[in-house]
Amino acid sequence: MRRVGFTTTIPLEVLIAAGVVPIDLNNVFITHHDNASLIEDAELTGFPRNVCAWIKGIYGAVVQSGVTELIAVTEGDCSYTKALMEVLSLNGVHVYPFAYPAGREAVPLKKEIEKLMGQFGVDWDHVGEAKKRLDRIRAKVHEIDRLSWQEDKVTGEENHYFQVCTSDMNGDPDAFEAEVDAFIAAAAVRAPRHERLRLAFLGVPPIISGLYGFLEEVGARVVFNETQRQFSMPFGIEDLVEQYRAYSYPYDIFHRLADISREIEKRRIDGVIHYVQSFCFRQIEDMVLRKSIKLPIMTLEGDKPGAIDARTKIRVEGFLELLEDRD
């Protein structure tokens, strides 16, 4: 079956309508059994050491998975993507550029989506049917999110996993829906959890592992995963163009802040972890978040895949003590 990779969330409805297998290459990279080797392979090929590990990991994921078609988001995501696209094109990968307009204008965004539709041979009727199918699954993932923050029955890691998987539905929407159904049935009858502190996790999904579990060991739980939640399109918007205008990740920090502020208040957040990736331009946005959010913020920087280290654990414990002292 035809497989198409992509570098960050794109209008998934187009690929589902086209009947191809969507592959979020970030998920391929981070779940690879030896993801550090994908980075090493990219560096041996010539990628500089001081380039974001996600870009090198995506390159390695394309090479190892044998993907020959790729949608590269050239505006609204990593600034390295254009160069990555060029390198992969030289390697024979067919690349389709996709750009979110910086100003969130509807007309250019609709043109980008229609260009993608033309490249995959689908029309608005096909895409509309695909959206209905995906929205049914997304609604169930929103229920998992609600069980996280409103009924305290879902861990931060579980919340992260199901929401981040909506970017490509694990390549098989029907199988993913069945997994979601089984999880909801099990989680709904759990007893509520009782962590002392409720946290927001802002920024891109973490490259390090074990963070969510460690937080819960020391009495805190993430009840708001900002970017992962955005992947699940939690807007209830029928119009496809408007849905991807509401999606905050590709646009400016102030559009993100409106969503963040609303959810922090609704979910009764005690403190914020702002995760930033080494060598990523989004690190600069930390200054805006610190000036705009009236809660304690700990900025956590990750570089390469691996388990949470002792230094980070000590910093997290100190941050949680600070939060408890405020109560």
Check residue 281 and give its pLDDT: 83
For residue 105, count other CB atoms closer than 10 A to its CB: 11
Check residue 79 and give its pLDDT: 80
Instruction: Quote the Cα angle for 33-221-144, to 5°.
Output: 75
Residue 218: both structure tokens together: 């020391």
Check residue 327 and give its pLDDT: 64
H-helix or E-strand spanning residue 94: strand 94-99
Inside any domain, residue 20: yes
Say if CB 289 and CB 189 are below 8 A apart.
Answer: no
Task: Report d(CA 69, CA 3) in Å as an integer.
Answer: 7
Q: Which residues does residue 298 pair with via DSSP β-bridges, in sequence order?
A: 273
Inside any domain, residue 87: yes
Q: What is the CATH number of the domain that holds 49?
A: 3.40.50.11890
Task: Report d(CA 60, CA 91) in Å as an integer.
Answer: 12
Residue 15: both structure tokens together: 């690929």
Check residue 326 and give its pLDDT: 81
Total domain count, the chain: 1
pLDDT along the chain (327 residues), means of 10: 95 98 96 94 94 94 94 88 93 96 96 98 98 98 98 98 98 98 98 97 96 98 98 97 96 94 98 93 89 96 95 97 88
Inside any domain, residue 184: no
Inside any domain, residue 111: yes
Domain that holds residue 105: 3-124
Inside any domain, residue 217: no
Task: Report d(CA 208, CA 304) in Å as an integer.
Answer: 7
Which is nearest to 157 in space by CA: 209, 203, 195, 196? 209
Check residue 304 and give its pLDDT: 92
For residue 196, count other CB atoms closer than 10 A to its CB: 13
Inside any domain, residue 181: no
DSSP letter assigned to residue 291: H
Inside any domain, residue 23: yes
Inside any domain, residue 79: yes
Task: Report d(CA 234, CA 237) in Å as an integer.
Answer: 8
